[in-house]
Amino acid sequence: MKNTKIMLQASSISKSYGSVPVLSDISIDLPAGEWLGILGESGSGKSTLLKILGRFLDADTGSISFKGNELPPVSSELMRGYDAIKLIHQEFELFPNQTVEENISYSLRFYDPAYKKERVEDLLEITALGSVRNQKAKLLSGGEKQRTAIAKSLAEQPDVLLLDEPFAHLDNHNRRVLADAIEGLRKQQKMSCVFVTHESADALAWSDRIAVLKDGEIIQIGTPQEVYNKPVNSYVAELTGDINWLNDQESGKKTFIRPEKIKRTKHPEKSKWSGKVQAIRFHGNHWEVRCANKQGDLAFYRNRRDLEIGDEVFLTYSSRDVMVAGE
Ligand SMILES: Nc1ncnc2c1ncn2[C@@H]1O[C@H](COP(=O)(O)OP(=O)(O)OP(=O)(O)O)[C@@H](O)[C@H]1O
């Protein structure tokens, strides 16, 4: 990214717990204003990486720099964490017996009262917490706790926000409210953010760039479009969405394609694959049609239900959309 200030930089970070390696040679740059999603399966090392970036844990090797200055090891400091970088853990760490408003205000206790009042009102509005401002934190729902923790962490306008699975355990309504709150924050505050998730839909929707973590290594980093449309291998392709294996008979290569790239054709002579419908599943905004022939099965999407189980289908796709495993 040209002329963009790097807020946070991790260089060659490695970490083991005992003799078990968890992170291996991780290097990441976080430019000002960027939202970086770390996408990985459970156990891939996401939370460990976030704790190292948030200065709650030291790496075994490598360094962390903030605005170009290398930070000393956490173990050499009196307190963990760093004011300009706020990490929100999955446990939220609110004061359970204090109200939402008190929790948020606490972060601003040393500020001018007029400014504090204005800032708290602002944060309550953006995070849609006005109606529960006098509720004790221990009585809040998971979604409200999540938003209170975000509002509390953002009170002092940190430069970098680190979110551990922000959408985990939220129902659809609360996901939308949180999503709106995050959108509001992105517009209002030019803040950088690293969030970790195992949900590809969240990573694709919220990231400027996605880093895919597998067994403690970053195997791809790119825009959501790059990672989804040009995955470096079938692992990234499967992690970011559905795929069909095609397996090219001529070349013998293992090939695959996204279901949405497959089209139905009425002309058998134009089809590249034919088979019978085995299952039809409704996903709200589309139907998933699963078909099979002697060689294997294939799924494709329809936006209306115009097929029945047992129907014969002729399918086609562009060779541009076929990806080769391992490339
Ligand atoms: N304090 C610890 N001591 C020993 N092993 C740990 C410790 N913390 C994490 N681990 C192990 O390190 C690996 C990576 O854990 P981490 O929590 O970073 O992964 P994750 O990708 O965030 O997983 P999840 O999505 O399930 O939270 C896991 O195998 C975990 O069991």
pLDDT at 248: 67
Determine the Cα–Cα distance for residues 221 and 66; give it in Å rounded to an integer: 20
Q: How far is the CA of 96 from the centre of ligand 1 (A)?
A: 26
pLDDT at 182: 78
pLDDT of 23 > 70? The answer is yes
Question: Which atom of ligand 1 lies nearest, measured to the CA of 164?
Answer: 22
pLDDT of 220 > 90? The answer is yes
Determine the Cα–Cα distance for residues 81 and 266; give it in Å rounded to an integer: 62
Q: How far is the CA of 42 from the centre of ligand 1 (A)?
A: 8
Among 202-216, 234-248, 283-297, which is the least confidently predicted range? 234-248
Stretch 52-69: mean pLDDT, rounded? 93
Determine the Cα–Cα distance for residues 193 and 85; give it in Å rounded to an integer: 9
Ranked by mean pLDDT, the top range of 171-175, 188-192, 229-233 is 229-233
Cβ–Cβ < 8 Å for 62, 16: no
Own/partner pairs for 227-233, CB < 8 Å, 24+ apart?
A: 227/39, 228/204, 231/323, 232/327, 233/325, 233/326, 233/327
Residue nearest to atom 7 of ligand 1 (CA): 17
Q: What is the mean pLDDT of the chain?
A: 90
Stretch 235-250: mean pLDDT, rounded? 87
How far CA 206 is from CA of 2, 171, 222, in Å, comes to: 22, 17, 13
Around ligand 1, the residues with Cβ closer than 6 Å are 17, 22, 40, 42-48, 198
Q: If one looks up domain 6-236 in CATH, what number appears?
A: 3.40.50.300
Q: How far is the CA of 151 from the centre of ligand 1 (A)?
A: 27
Residue nearest to atom 25 of ligand 1 (CA): 42
Question: Which atom of ligand 1 lies nearest, measured to the CA of 18?
Answer: 4
Q: How far is the CA of 17 from the centre of ligand 1 (A)?
A: 9
Q: What is the DSSP letter of 62?
A: E
Question: Which atom of ligand 1 lies nearest, measured to the CA of 49?
Answer: 18
Domains of the chain: which residue ranges?
A: 6-236, 242-324
ipTM value > 0.90: yes
Determine the Cα–Cα distance for residues 151 and 164; give it in Å rounded to an integer: 15
Q: How far is the CA of 312 from the centre of ligand 1 (A)?
A: 47
Residue nearest to atom 24 of ligand 1 (CA): 42
Higher pLDDT, residue 65 or 74:
65
Stretch 33-46: mean pLDDT, rounded? 94
pLDDT of 181 > 90? The answer is no
The reported pTM is: 0.87
Q: How far is the CA of 11 from the centre of ligand 1 (A)?
A: 20
pLDDT at 114: 92
Question: Which atom of ligand 1 lies nearest, measured to the CA of 44?
Answer: 21
For the stretch 139-156, pLDDT in tens is: 998 888 888 988 888 888
pLDDT of 19 > 80? The answer is yes
**Which of 15, 46, 199 has most ligand 1 atoms within 8 Å of its beta carbon, as the pocket-test mutant?**
46
Q: If one looks up domain 242-324 in CATH, what number appears?
A: 2.40.50.140
pLDDT at 24: 96
Complete edge-to-edge strand list for the sheet that includes strand 69-70: 20-31, 6-17, 61-66, 69-70
pLDDT of 307 > 90? The answer is yes
Q: How far is the CA of 41 from the centre of ligand 1 (A)?
A: 11
